[in-house]
Structure 1
């Protein structure tokens, strides 16, 4: 899929945007669905353009749309979600990796090193995976309280995990005695 959609940077016009429009076929959708572990995937489109930014850098802007089906985190029943998100990537020619071992990339940072090609299909799949709901939940699905312990022992409840919950009552009782 990526070979057909890659844009060679050397071939991109400096003075005009290069549009792209991706609508994966059934085979492409099946590959993306399997790669992302989805139950279903349909109506995927990624439309936008790549244009020069300055003399050597490039920017990709697009709009990603997709309908995804994931298992509910509570019931495992299918949950359908519509995703419509703007996507932007800035490709920097003079990219340098930070030297600090503990360097953190700022959240939402959309910059990447510029290579020989820009691949809108790869950007589409990455953006889709980032836009997926992390904990899809069917309407009305709620976790029941589950108590687990060894056989023959009393299970610890949520109330047991709050050791200071009764202190307010104790304080009030002590004030009455004064």
Structure 2
């Protein structure tokens, strides 16, 4: 039996279906996360803690059934220091802009692009799914890309000076012969 790629995909850790009629209301709206979503996101992103997640957004209609989102993601996270393995608290506070288009308009845009590398890092629009958009993946991706890829505790230094490890290396073993070549 053949298994499709879709069968291997994990469901997104966060789903928030928003009806398109919300774009007619110009007020700010807020999304938070529940404990099971928090746990799933913490596990996926290898976080020590994830608190105070708040996504404030506003939708605006554009031409051709397009929806524009302006928002801001805020969260408190704890990552692990890459040098000392100590906890490193951080605050995420980033603006978010996104476009949601009908799938047929996205397909037409993709046909116009001869070489995807020529798009200059363009953010592709997200698809409108029937009469709704899903903000969950946008929130998760924004959080994931806002994290420091190499968090370091303040004052933590990675100093690997040449020769520093030589005293601690065993004097016999498979690498002892290589060390003697290096020293000659």
TM-score in same-fold range (> 0.5): yes
In the other structure, the counterpart of 1:151 is 176
In the other structure, the counterpart of 1:126 is 141
From 51, 57, 63, give the equivalent of 1:54.
63
Matched, 1:107 2:121: yes
- 3-state SS in 1 of match to 2:57: strand
After TM superposition, what 4+ stretches of structure 1 lie above 6 angstroms from structure 2? none
Structure 2 gap ranges (5+)? 1-12, 166-173
Q: How has the CA–CA distance of structure 1 residues 40 and 59 changed in structure 2, closer, same or farther, with 3 Å as cutoff?
A: same
Report which of the two has the higher share of helix. Answer: 2
TM score, norm. by length of structure 1 = 0.72
Q: How has the CA–CA distance of structure 1 residues 2 and 153 changed in structure 2, closer, same or farther, with 3 Å as cutoff?
A: closer
Deviation at 1:100, TM superposition (A): 3.9
State how far apart, in whole Å, the 1-side matches of 2:114 and 2:54 are. 38
CA contact (8 A) 1:91 1:111 kept: yes
Which deviations, in whole Å up to 9, do the C-alpha atoms of 1:94-150 show, x marking residues without a partner? 113255465355336263333323112221111100101111010111112165793
State how far apart, in whole Å, the 1-side matches of 2:116 and 2:22 are. 38
> What RMSD, in angstroms, separates the aligned Cα atoms of the two structures?
2.9
Which sits farther off after the overlay, 46-55 or 57-66? 46-55
CA contact (8 A) 1:68 1:81 kept: yes
- Which structure would you say has the larger Rg? 1
CA contact (8 A) 1:22 1:121 kept: no
From 89, 109, 132, give the equivalent of 2:98.
89
Structure 1 gap ranges (5+)? 157-178
State how far apart, in whole Å, the 1-side matches of 2:116 and 2:65 are. 29
Q: How has the CA–CA distance of structure 1 residues 2 and 152 changed in structure 2, closer, same or farther, with 3 Å as cutoff?
A: closer
